[in-house]
Structure 1
Amino acid sequence: MKNTTSRPPVWFYILTIILLLWNAMGLFAFFDQVMISAARLEALPDNERNLYENTPVWAVIAFALAVFGGTLGCIGLLLRRSWARILFLISLVGIMVQMYYNVFIGKAMDVYGPGAVTMPVLVLLVAVFLIWFANYGIRRGWLG
């Protein structure tokens, strides 16, 4: 692994910490979904409860790849490691698989309405930005 010679500016660290917090929120959402209690599940409307109960394992794994890849990628940025880009690519694949399930198979928009598309689009945009940002850091010599 080559050594970086160029130190990133302060804004790089500030932005990376903000992006790490964003991904940490994704981790909380993931654990909230996979560890939902029976009582909370029972309190949900039938159509929403069905979404939780019928989510296949592969969609949950995609969700895990998305949030853990993004979070670990941000930690990689803070450590100035170029492998962050690979984790962001894995995260993007996880996001796309999860979105495919939610939109086309799980029919989440039927449950939550058209507003349900706002957050997934934002998540996708942030994921694409993170890949670009890692590439930018590599080109600038900040990541090695």
Structure 2
Amino acid sequence: MTDSATIKPPFWFWPTTIIALVWNAMGAMQYVGQAYMTDSFKAQYTAEELEIFTNLPAWYTAAFAFAVWGGVLGCIGLLLRRKWAKIAFLISLIGIIVQMLHNLFISDSSITYGPAVITMTIMIPFIGVLLLLLSKKAIAKGWIS
């Protein structure tokens, strides 16, 4: 029987994982800017938008942290070919779901930000699910161990 560590992933696995890492790193940069209200972050938004960020509950910020850092760790896990990537992506997806529930049902961010927030509200969980499925497939195919 072939050792799972010797089964090479297909070529597309590597660029997909690197693109996913960049995507999650951008989310992590957004998190850091938002959590610490950096000058570069504040320069991107109006006073009304910054007011929304300032008044976000702590549990939302925590969910944001789990979402982005789970995604970053999951991608690193895939690049290192480790099974724990799946757990990291699951944690990330839970954080994403909590965030999106807040965005859809608690806040009025869609009124403030317009249709762009709706696109991201759909795209972010979709990518989170795809990354979780990728990690499950990689485990099943023996690409990661």
TM-score normalized with structure 1 length:
0.89
Distance 2:92 2:142 in 1: 23
The aligned runs of 1:115-130 (5 Å cut-off) are 115-130=116-131
Query: How many angstroms does 1:39 deviate by?
Result: 9.7
Corresponding residue number in structure 2 for 1:66:
67
The aligned runs of 1:23-102 (5 Å cut-off) are 23-37=24-38, 41=42, 44-102=45-103
Report if aligned partners of 2:109, 2:117 keep a CA contact under 8 Å in 1: yes
Distance 1:22 1:40 in 2: 18
Give the 3 Å change call, closer, same or farther, for CA 48–134 of structure 1 in structure 2: same
Stretches of 4+ moved more than 4 A in 1?
Answer: 37-44
Q: Which amino acid in the other structure matches residue 115 of structure 2?
A: P
Distance 1:99 1:132 in 2: 20
After superposition, the C-alpha distances for 1:83-103 in whole angstroms (9 at most, x for unaligned) are 101110100000010111122
Report if aligned partners of 1:42, 1:49 keep a CA contact under 8 Å in 2: no
After superposition, the C-alpha distances for 1:35-80 in whole angstroms (9 at most, x for unaligned) are 2147975995443132111101100000000000000000000010
Q: Which runs of 5+ in 1 are unaligned?
A: none
Aligned residues: 143
Q: Which amino acid in the other structure matches residue 76 of structure 1?
A: G
Q: Which amino acid in the other structure matches residue 105 of structure 2?
A: F
Query: Identity of paired residues, percent?
Result: 43
Corresponding residue number in structure 2 for 1:105:
106
Query: How many angstroms does 1:115 deviate by?
Result: 2.8
Give the 3 Å change call, closer, same or farther, for CA 121–39 of structure 1 in structure 2: closer
